[in-house]
């Protein structure tokens, strides 16, 4: 019997690397996608119990996601689980942040995720088997002043994931949106939010990944890890959007 294979984007650090460890521990072969080829090689050499294929690609570049799919196809690898984890954020006023960086964020957070889901979902439907985990965020549930584009991309990821899950009802394929709050990864440093109020009670990447992994395997539609995050999402759902935006702006500020 062939072993199952998981493809993980953003696999070299943070949540992505935690997912690598979880899948490897359960005996999954791995296809790991990230920009850092040296780090990919280090990870490959550290997991001897499973087959690891590495693909060094910058998914924020248009066309890169298609190239990942084509390489997987050329190597004859069947993807049983797709983990769309790669993404980044930026903090600052929309009109003052570099527009090219914001467009790259949109391409990575939504464009590449959409393409990979599109290509690999078609293959999963041929076999009527597969699971997809899209890493969204608690940011998906409200507008986010000072991180406007990031919050908008995560709202897209959540909406897409929920819609696909409904489209796939009656099949053996599931789509799970993982919506963590602040998490101790390099995201905070890249987004320049490490000193913000939102990161004052950040969860560990290991805990978030373990809970997200369980949600994926249980076929949950949406999963928010952590009691405080669940409460925050619930509050955002019932709060007027204008007020939710004010709260989001407040927590994005420095401590």
Residues annotated as catalytic (active site), given as ranges: 150
Cα torsion at 52, 58, 59, 64 (round to 10°)?
Answer: -90
| Euclidean distance between CA atoms 189 and 183, whole angstroms | 11
Residue with tokens 């940011």: 139
Looking at the chain, how many residues does it have?
255
Terminal-to-terminal C-alpha distance of the chain: 54
Phi, psi of 82 (to 5 degrees): -110, 125
Closest to 134 in 3D by CA, of 164, 92, 171, 166: 164
Buried b (16+ CB within 10 A) or exposed e, 150-159: bbbbbbbbbe
Distances (CA, A) of 142 to 4, 137, 188, 197: 37, 10, 19, 17
CA dihedral 88, 251, 144, 34 (to 10 degrees): 10
């Amino acid at each position: 019997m062939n072993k199952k294979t998981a493809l993980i984007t953003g696999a070299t650090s943070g949540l992505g690397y935690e997912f690598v460890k979880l899948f490897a521990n359960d005996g999954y072969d791995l296809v790991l996608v990230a920009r850092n080829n040296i780090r990919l090689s280090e990870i490959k050499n550290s997991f001897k119990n499973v087959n690891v294929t590495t693909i060094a690609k910058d998914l924020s570049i248009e066309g890169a996601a298609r190239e990942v799919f084509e390489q997987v196809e050329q190597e004859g690898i069947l993807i049983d689980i797709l983990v769309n984890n790669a993404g980044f954020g930026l903090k600052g006023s929309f009109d003052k942040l570099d527009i090219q960086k914001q467009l790259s964020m949109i391409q990575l957070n939504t464009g590449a995720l959409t393409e990979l889901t599109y290509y690999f979902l078609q293959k999963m439907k041929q076999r009527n088997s597969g699971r997809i985990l899209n890493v969204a965020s608690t940011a998906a549930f409200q507008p986010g002043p000072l991180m406007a584009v990031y919050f908008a991309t995560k709202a897209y990821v959540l909406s897409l994931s929920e819609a696909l899950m409904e489209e796939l009802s009656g099949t053996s394929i599931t789509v799970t949106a993982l919506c963590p709050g602040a998490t101790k990864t390099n995201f905070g440093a890249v987004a320049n939010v490490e000193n913000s109020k939102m990161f004052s009670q950040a969860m560990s990447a290991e805990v978030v990944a373990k809970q997200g992994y369980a949600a994926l395997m249980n076929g949950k539609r949406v999963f928010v890890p952590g009691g405080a995050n669940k409460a925050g999402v619930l509050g955002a759902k019932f709060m007027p959007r204008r007020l939710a935006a004010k709260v989001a702006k407040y927590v994005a500020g420095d401590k």
